[in-house]
Each structure stands twice: as structure tokens, then as C-alpha cells.
Amino acid sequence: MSMSCKGKCSDFRALRPKDHDGRYIVGQKRCQTCSMFLNWEGLWCPCCGYKLRTRPRSTKYKTQLTTMTNKNTEKKNLIRGESVDVFEKDSDGIMIRVGMGKLLNHIQRAGKYEIWQVELKNEICNKFILA
Ligand SMILES: [Zn+2]
Ligand SMILES: [Zn+2]
């Protein structure tokens, strides 16, 4: 069976995330064969069948993900109404703690992370938190 792009991948094309968050951080995966970022739960491309890339290639992005993981290892099962540490990227792309936020609504699971709507300083925003 030949492994090549059959054009089906465009059904799963992932849009660039808002707020300049990394595509891999929000759970998107990259197919090298189809040259496309996908929203797809599986590890293999639904179009060509090749293994999808789930982690960034660049050291900068790897560092970001590691930093988030290390800082959040104590967070396990998140519960609505719970107070959590909230992180944001600074201008160098490093995750920094910006304060305590209250979890409002679960949006989605994204790899090791969960995306929650968080109330922080009376502002409601979407944040990534380690699940
Ligand atoms: Zn394809
Ligand atoms: Zn593919």
C-alpha cells in the first residue's frame, strides 16, 4: 500500500491558534508527508497513514513545554471552582506564573494539557494547565 497524501487531510486542517500559542501546545499534530497541521486524536495521519509529529522540533518550544510540565507536576485532577496557578508566555516565549485563577469551564484536552476558561483578576481568559 502506498503511503502518500490523498487530500483527505484538509478535512482535519488545524488553524493557527490565537494569542500566538504554539500549535503543539494546543494539541495539534504535524504530518510531514501532507505538510499540514491537523486536529486529530490519533498518532497516525488519517490521510496518508504516516506517524504524526506531536512535539516541536525547535529547542525553544521544547523548553517551554518542559517548563510548564515541571512547574505544574502537582496538578492532577482539576475541578471546576478550584484555584490554580496560571502561566503566560513572556516576550521570550518562557512560561511565567502570572497569579492564581479560578477554573470556570473545561474547554478541551490537549495532549498533556487541558484548556480551561479561567477567571484571573476579574478577567476571563483561556489557559493551558497540566492535567
Ligand atoms: Zn494528506
Ligand atoms: Zn499525512
Specify if 50 maps to a domain.
yes
Q: Report the number of distinct structural domains present in the chain.
A: 2
Are 68 and 126 within one domain? yes
Are 74 and 48 within one domain? no
Q: What are phi and psi of 77, to 5 degrees?
A: -90, 115
1 alpha carbon – ligand 1 mean position (Å): 15
Specify if 110 maps to a domain.
yes
Predicted model pTM: 0.47
Are 31 and 70 within one domain? no
Measured between alpha carbons, how far is 40 from 5 in angstroms, rounded to an integer? Answer: 16
119 alpha carbon – ligand 2 mean position (Å): 38
CA nearest 126: which of 112, 113, 110, 115? 115
Q: Is residue 64 a contact partner of residue 77, using CB atoms and an 8 Å limit? A: no
Measured between alpha carbons, how far is 121 from 106 in angstroms, rounded to an integer? Answer: 19
Range of the domain at 27: 8-54
105 alpha carbon – ligand 2 mean position (Å): 33
What does the pLDDT profile of the chain (131 residues) look like in tens digits?
Answer: 457 999 999 999 998 877 656 787 778 899 999 999 999 989 999 999 999 988 766 545 444 444 444 444 444 567 788 887 776 666 665 666 777 778 888 877 766 667 777 787 776 666 655 54
Q: Is residue 38 a contact partner of residue 52, using CB atoms and an 8 Å limit? A: yes
Q: Write down the pLDDT at residue 56.
A: 67
